[in-house]
């Protein structure tokens, strides 16, 4: 890398290793990005125990809050009889929650930036509890639609807050695994939710599903209240911006032998925080970080709030974010397509499954998701760090993209098996154990890697990136309820299911072909954007 390239600070290009061992070409010392402060209440410096507690609370919230609005597919036939509605009308109960989930984040993320993550997630938890109670008491279809909309508003925080908390707590090289954990929590709620709803509806009453969700959401609220401190932390300057880390490291790496001090010291008059892997690891939150009352941040005025609302739309026009959003959306909606058709396929002959049996087939998704949890994040992190070592310690955001290849292949095989199994009424074991399991594997793997790539490229905007991706995903999913089941009923399952496969595989392969060789050029084109200093 030439001196001119080093001075050209590009978002997504980071020095992740410094120093050399025994003259080898492999960089040795891990650099922490963002740089932690010397304060023990800095979330980056919290002990592994406290970080684990916060991530666990986020996991539970995401799992429970997504389970209620998006897990009603096994109860489709019950709702058709209960409210005397057609299949598309019943699917609108799903669509009302899904579309709200996406667009409500245009308010949730600005609020989380202005007031902090903790008060926003507490308020959203209360909304979820109230919406669950409403759904358990509904007596008419219009009322049910209204309850589903409010449920989507409360659950919207699960689409964005956990990625923001991960960025608050963890360093760049740790985020791939944690993003996989987030998507695992999200889709585990989608996978296990139908199992729970189908079993409760068959054995007790469909209303009891919402009462159970109320209890679980209440427990999650208590966990957050007592053991989820605020993770948003005001750092000196803008430690998250590309220039704050890269420029100082370039200066240190180019410092003449025997020279002391860095540009950081000259500018600020104080010793810079260490960039190496040595940092405080036994910190803990203080009492102020457990405050229930929201505190508006003085550096977050009305202009900043407007910026938070506009920036998700702005970055959606950045090629990397647009690609990641579309790739995540199509991979996730591959699962949605199977959820929408479960009752349509397995309820009538030759299967004649009951609602609880329809729910149980979602266990195959769970198995696939578990495999993705232990492979996708660690695999992409390992590939990225290994390639960074060979690159003299410089990590390029695109270095994790090759990890996407096996999950793209998984989508192709899983969706083809499912489409043919649906169409030809194969034994359910083939369709479910092979097709559903592979779809469950890709629905965690592909979004985790694609979104991690976008966040690596624009690391100061994890929440805004999730807003953009969620809007794309949920808008397309909302549109599917108007045509997917009717298309399958009229023309068979091959067309609609293979369409989703083609979109997922096609956009994934297109992105790999473009961004692996040319991704840095796209990042260079947007390096002067103001979003990097938000």
With cut-offs at 50, 70 and 90, classify the pLDDT of residue 278.
low
Where are the alpha helices (H) located in 425-493, listed in sequence order? 428-429, 437-457, 462-480, 484-491
In this model, does residue 273 exceed pLDDT 80?
A: no
Cα gap 531→241, rounded to integer Å: 9
With cut-offs at 50, 70 and 90, classify the pLDDT of residue 374.
confident
Average pLDDT over residues 92-97: 91
With cut-offs at 50, 70 and 90, classify the pLDDT of residue 259.
very low
- What per-residue confidence (pLDDT) applies to 410? 97
> Dihedral sign, CA of 374, 63, 328, 456?
negative
Query: 224-252: per-residue pLDDT in tens?
Result: 999 999 999 887 655 545 444 454 544 44
Tokens 């061992």 correspond to what residue?
Answer: 21
- What per-residue confidence (pLDDT) applies to 333? 94
Q: What is the distance of C-alpha 387 from the center of its chain?
A: 24
- What per-residue confidence (pLDDT) applies to 261? 39
3-class DSSP assignment, residue 260: coil
DSSP string, 196-220: HHHHHHHHT-HHHHHHHHHHHHHHH
Cα gap 452→457, rounded to integer Å: 9
In this model, does residue 476 exceed pLDDT 60?
A: yes
Cα gap 484→481, rounded to integer Å: 6
Query: 300-347: per-residue pLDDT in tens?
Result: 567 677 777 788 888 888 999 999 999 999 999 999 899 889 888 998
Average pLDDT over residues 100-121: 90
Rounded percentage of the chain residues whose pLDDT exceeds 70: 84
3-class DSSP assignment, residue 28: strand
- What per-residue confidence (pLDDT) applies to 469? 92
Cα gap 44→34, rounded to integer Å: 9
Q: Which helix (H) or strand (E) holds 188?
A: helix 175-203
Q: Which residue has the higher pLDDT, 25 or 515?
A: 515
- What per-residue confidence (pLDDT) applies to 235? 75
> Dihedral sign, CA of 182, 110, 105, 450?
negative
Q: Which residue has the higher pLDDT, 403 or 262?
A: 403
Query: 51-70: per-residue pLDDT in tens?
Result: 999 999 999 999 999 998 88
List CB contacts of 327: < 8 A, sequence separation 6 or more.
446, 447, 450, 504, 507, 508, 511
Q: Which residue has the higher pLDDT, 530 or 132?
A: 132
With cut-offs at 50, 70 and 90, classify the pLDDT of residue 120.
very high
Q: Which helix (H) or strand (E) holds 137?
A: helix 117-137
């Amino acid at each position: 890398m030439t001196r001119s390239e080093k001075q050209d600070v590009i978002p997504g290009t980071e020095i992740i290793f410094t120093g050399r061992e025994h003259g080898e070409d492999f960089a040795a010392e891990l650099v922490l990005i963002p740089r932690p402060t010397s304060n023990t209440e800095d979330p980056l410096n919290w002990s592994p125990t406290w970080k684990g507690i916060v991530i666990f609370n986020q996991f539970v919230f995401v799992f429970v809050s997504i389970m209620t609005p998006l897990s009603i597919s096994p109860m489709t036939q019950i709702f058709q009889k209960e409210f005397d509605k057609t299949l598309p009308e019943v699917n609108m109960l799903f669509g009302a929650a899904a579309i709200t989930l996406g667009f409500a984040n245009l308010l949730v993320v600005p609020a989380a930036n202005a007031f902090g993550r903790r008060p926003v997630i507490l308020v959203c938890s209360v909304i979820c509890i109230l919406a669950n109670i409403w759904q358990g008491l509904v007596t008419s279809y219009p009322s049910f639609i209204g309850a589903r909309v409010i449920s989507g508003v409360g659950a919207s925080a699960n689409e964005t807050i956990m990625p923001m908390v991960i960025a608050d707590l963890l360093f760049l090289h740790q985020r791939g695994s944690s993003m996989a954990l987030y998507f695992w929590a999200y889709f585990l709620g989608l996978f296990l939710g139908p199992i729970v709803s189908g079993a409760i509806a068959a054995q007790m009453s469909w209303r009891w599903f919402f009462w159970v969700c109320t209890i679980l959401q209440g427990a999650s609220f208590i966990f957050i209240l007592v053991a989820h401190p605020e993770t948003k932390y005001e750092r000196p300057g803008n430690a998250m911006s590309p220039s704050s880390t890269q420029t100082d490291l370039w200066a240190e790496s180019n410092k003449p032998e025997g020279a002391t001090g860095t540009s950081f010291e000259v500018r600020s008059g104080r010793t810079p925080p260490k960039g190496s892997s040595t940092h405080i690891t036994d910190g803990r939150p203080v009492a102020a970080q457990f405050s229930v009352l929201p505190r508006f941040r003085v550096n977050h005025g009305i202009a900043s709030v407007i910026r938070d609302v506009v920036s998700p739309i702005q970055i959606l026009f950045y090629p990397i974010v647009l690609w990641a959003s579309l790739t995540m959306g199509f991979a996730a909606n591959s699962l949605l397509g199977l959820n929408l058709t479960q009752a349509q396929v397995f309820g009538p002959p030759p299967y004649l499954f009951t609602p609880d049996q329809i729910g149980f087939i979602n266990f195959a998704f769970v198995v696939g998701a578990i495999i993705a949890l232990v492979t996708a994040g660690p695999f992409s992190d390992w590939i990225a760090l290994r390639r960074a070592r060979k690159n003299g310690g410089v990590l390029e955001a695109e270095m994790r993209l090759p990890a996407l290849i096996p999950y793209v292949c998984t989508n192709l095989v899983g969706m083809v098996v499912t489409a043919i199994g649906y169409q030809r009424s194969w034994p359910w074991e083939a369709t479910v154990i092979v097709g559903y399991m592979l779809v469950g594997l890709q629905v965690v793997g592909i979004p985790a890697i694609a979104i991690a790539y976008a966040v690596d490229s624009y690391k100061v905007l994890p929440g805004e990136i999730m807003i953009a991706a969620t809007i794309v995903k949920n808008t397309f999913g909302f549109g599917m309820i108007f045509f997917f089941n009717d298309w399958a009923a009229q023309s068979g399952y091959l067309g609609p299911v293979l369409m989703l496969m083609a979109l997922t595989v096609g956009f994934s392969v297109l992105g790999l072909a473009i961004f692996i060789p040319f991704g840095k050029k796209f990042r260079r084109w947007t390096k002067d954007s103001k979003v990097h200093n938000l």
